[in-house]
Structure 1
Amino acid sequence: MKETLGRFKGFWVPLVVVLVWQGISELGWVNVQVLPSPWAVITKWIEYLKPLEPFDPEKGSYFSWMFSGELPHDLWASFYRVLVGVLIGGGLGLPLGLIMGASRVGYDYLNPLVQVLRPIPPIAYIPLAILWFGLGNPPAVFLIALGAFFPILMNTIVGVRSVDSIYIRAARNMGAGRFTMFTKIIVPAAMPYILSGVRIGIGTGFICMIVAEMIAVNNGLGYRILEAREYLWSDKIIAGMFTIGLLGLAIDVVVDNLNNYLLRWHRGLE
């Protein structure tokens, strides 16, 4: 019994918050237009999820019909942009971070440029992104990639430069070459920092995704939240926010499992 309760201990706080929220709504302490009840949000979320038209076998399969609603389309559009943006940002930030962390010359040449660009918020690039890429997915993906790039880059640099010198000396004494040293010692030792950077980069990518979808595209969760704000549909706004949270949780669970797999050798995860 205790083990069963322990598995669900992370759900107690959200459950209490929802119950208090529902109680406040039932007592009429807040305007439902400003803060709708959890039940109203769930009802709107289900409505947002349902297919737009009745099922017609001639128009497609039942599976495609089930995912023809507004929410599945918006969810897929947002997930696609985050996935592509983080892959691009990580694909650029990871190798560059490895180079800057492992090479003093590379660090000295590239670090001034990185430190000039890093403090600029990705949101500040919105006018340029629209000017360069127009409207649609390209500017949104660009902003997400930019948001993911710097956390992954900086954490990779720190991870490589923080590798314990004992590992390096031991590998040298055993005759390891540069390539073996890099692939077998430096990269695995820096992996905790790299994966932390990926998780931070994904979080930043979500922020950029919402902002980009409110400005540059006509679908996605961010776009739908902005649309709901214009019509004062606060229940739909919160339903969209709830969906973003679930999407972020799902991605974080995947990254956490990947983290545990790649770091299974680590003493703290044995």
Structure 2
Amino acid sequence: MNAISAPPQRALDVLRGLIVPLALLALWEGCARAGWFSPVVLPAASAVAVKWWQSLLPAQAFDAAEQSRLAWMFSGEMVHDAVASLYRVVVGFAVGAGLALPMGLVMGASARVYGLFNPLLQVLRPIPPIAYIPLSILWFGLGNPPAIFLIAIGAFFPVLMNTITGVRHVDGIYLRAARNLGVGQWAMFTRVMLPAATPYILAGVRIGIGTAFIVVIVSEMIAVNDGLGFRILEAREFMWSDKIIAGMFTIGLLGLAIDTGVSRLNNHLLRWHRGIEH
């Protein structure tokens, strides 16, 4: 019975979640068509949808006779920019999380190491990644390296702090039980502390990816010549509001897809954890 009723319930939840967005789109379209505000300031939702579709579809998708006529209209640049942004997010997050995870595990497991590095981290952690933009350009120039550097910083601290918190807050009952069973230090770390800290670590990963996606948009407005952030800034220079909103919409869709994927991965990896249903 549950298996039969689950798909309709999920469909009902999706439809319920679409009510407010669709209502806002209808209100937006109605106000724009009524002329309540300038199309330069806020174009109609339909105009944004048309611009978004034109930015997704390249002229090469049409036959040879139509390509020359439609080349000015269909650019396909949105796909290229989305791929460029995702590449920077993945590489930058991999660098930041790859440094933060082992450092967080060591700091969480060793009070001595924690006391040694924590003061410096507490000074650096409140500094937003955007503040590093001038240094990143001085150190790395323009292009992908400064953007990846900024994204790595944005992903580093959420993963690091959550990892430290997870390791340091392992329930003492588990540790005492393992000691009573004669478990060694390495086994204690890998078989008890690390699994118990996994929910915290994965929460940090989810936050870190979200932060990386925010930072990549800012970095692309400064240091690179492609990507969604660059395209939005370019559209602002020419007052192409429809293109700006289409880029923002693409960012929202990519962010939703990434967050949904990470959330499902978390649920899969934490099937054993109390409160997570199979």
TM-score (norm 2): 0.89
The number of residues matched between the two structures is 261
Superposition CA RMSD, Å: 1.8
- Any residues of structure 2 matched to 1:154-173 within 5 Å, and which? 154-173=161-180
Find the counterpart in structure 1 of residue 256 from structure 2.
249
1:207 maps to which of 214, 223, 231: 214
1:121 counterpart = 2:101: no
Q: Does 1:236 align with 2:277?
A: no
Residues 98-123 of structure 1 deviation map (CA, whole Å, 9 limit, x = unaligned): 11111100100001111111111111
Correspondence for 1:222: 229
2:108 is the counterpart of 1:101: yes
Return the letter of the residue paired with 1:90: A
Q: Which residue of the partner structure matches residue 192 of structure 2?
A: 185
Q: Separation in 1 of the partners of 2:226 and 2:201?
A: 32
CA–CA distance in 2 between the matches of 1:168 and 1:10? 44
TM-aligned CA deviation for residue 52 of structure 1: 3.9
Matches within 5 A, 1:1-270: 3=9, 4-53=11-60, 69-270=76-277
Residue range with higher mean Cα deviation, 119-128 or 13-22: 13-22
Cα gap change, 1:12 to 1:188, in 2 (>3 Å): farther
Amino acid at match of 1:22: E
Can you list the C-alpha shifts for 1:53-110, whole angstroms capped at 9, x where unaligned? 46689xxxxxxxxxx8211110100000001111111001111111111110010000
Deviation at 1:7, TM superposition (A): 3.9
Question: Quick check: 2:235–2:244 contact (8 Å CA) kept in 1?
Answer: yes
Counterparts of 2:61 and 2:170, CA distance in 1? 59
Provide the residue aligned with 1:62 in structure 2: none
**1:78·1:221 contact (CA, 8 Å) conserved in 2?**
yes
How far did residue 168 of structure 1 move?
Answer: 1.1
Conserved? CA contact 1:122–1:143, under 8 Å: yes
Identity %: 65
The answer on whether the counterparts of 1:225 and 1:236 sit within 8 Å (CA) in structure 2 is yes
Specify the SS of the correspondent of 2:221.
Answer: helix
Aligned residue for 1:63? Answer: none
Deviation of the 1:40 alpha carbon: 0.8
Q: Which amino acid aligns with 1:133?
A: F
